[in-house]
Amino acid sequence: MNWLAYALLAAVAAAATAILAKVGVGAVPSNLATAVRTSFILPLVWALVIARGELHALKTATSQTFVFLGLSAVATGVSWLAYFKALQLAPASHVAPIDKLSLPLTIALAAVVLGEPLSLKLVCGVTLMVVGAMLTLG
């Protein structure tokens, strides 16, 4: 599969996540729900790494790799905890579009930190997505 197929798969999985998580947080605290979710993910991902024979690449990881993956994990944890709490407090149809405001933030950070280019087409598209997300609030 190419990057676009993986990105589309991620979008479909994220949509399913919102609905499944909304049902899942109904009877338990959102932090517990996040912990249970994470407990399922960890062994699945390690099993995939082992099955694909990727464990050997751990030897080539640098301290920078671990620092940045660790920081990414903290950001993911904060995101998941906040997302599950928001799902507990509001309809998924309101929470998910606001969560997707990570898109313009990601694009801005990619431009500033990674030096990725911004085109007029990209800025216009992201602006429309932000306006769409904002319209879901009303």
Tell me how far apart the alpha carbons of residues 48 and 37 are, in angstroms, rounded to a whole number: 17
Reported as a single tens digit per residue, the pLDDT across 64-82 is 999 999 999 999 999 999 9
Residues in the chain: 138
Query: Does the pLDDT of residue 13 top 80, yes or no?
Result: yes
Longest dimension (CA), the chain: 51
Query: Does the pLDDT of residue 1 top 90, yes or no?
Result: no
| pLDDT band, very low/low/confident/very high, at 137 (cuts 50, 70, 90) | confident
CA nearest neighbour of 38 among 9, 81, 88, 100: 81
Query: Does the pLDDT of residue 42 top 80, yes or no?
Result: yes
pLDDT at 32: 96
CA nearest neighbour of 7 among 106, 118, 78, 114: 106
DSSP for 41-94?
HHHHHHHHHHHTT-GGGGGG--HHHHHHHHHHHHHHHHHHHHHHHHHHHS-HHH
User: What average pLDDT is seen over the chain?
Assistant: 93
pLDDT at 133: 87
Reported as a single tens digit per residue, the pLDDT across 112-132 is 999 999 999 999 999 999 999
Domain ranges of the chain: 3-91, 100-138
pLDDT at 59: 95
